[in-house]
Amino acid sequence: MQSTITKISTAVAYTTLASTDLDRAERYYRDVLGFDVERMPSPPNGLMVHAGQGTGLSIYERPTPPHCDATAMTLLVEDLDAAMSDLRAHGVTFEEYDLPYMKTTNGVAVEGPTKASWFKDPDGNILSLVQM
């Protein structure tokens, strides 16, 4: 008999984010970030955003914006510079950080072979791009 931990460890995982405006979130994740977005039936009203390799995220609506200063979702990309260029063309602004453990230059932090950048969706959720 398999343990619960083993069953959970093989489950598909996805991120859940909050939005104060599902229509705006749908436009952003579809038109700016380029994901396939599906409206979920009610209740709860929400969006299912389909990403690569069977992954994705769920977005639900709530009356007040989330308040989190940590990365909510990371997207693994093959070419960070190209991904950032594409997103900048769609109006995305990348965050700049100057922290004791990390500093960005032109929106990019480099540690060894890994490069990363961060940006916010319209609700302030922090999203990250990482090239390994």
List the domain range (segments joined by +) for residue 73: 4-131
| Residue 43: per-residue pLDDT | 55
Q: What is the per-residue pLDDT across 18-63, written as a single tens digit (0 to 9) for each?
A: 899 999 999 999 999 999 999 987 656 799 999 998 899 999 888 8
Overall number of domains in the chain: 1
Mean pLDDT of 97-125: 93
Token representation of residue 18? 């909050």
Strands (E), 1-132: 15-19, 36-40, 46-50, 56-61, 71-76, 98-99, 102-103, 109-111, 114-120, 126-131
- Which CATH number is 105's domain given? 3.10.180.10
Mean pLDDT score of the chain = 88
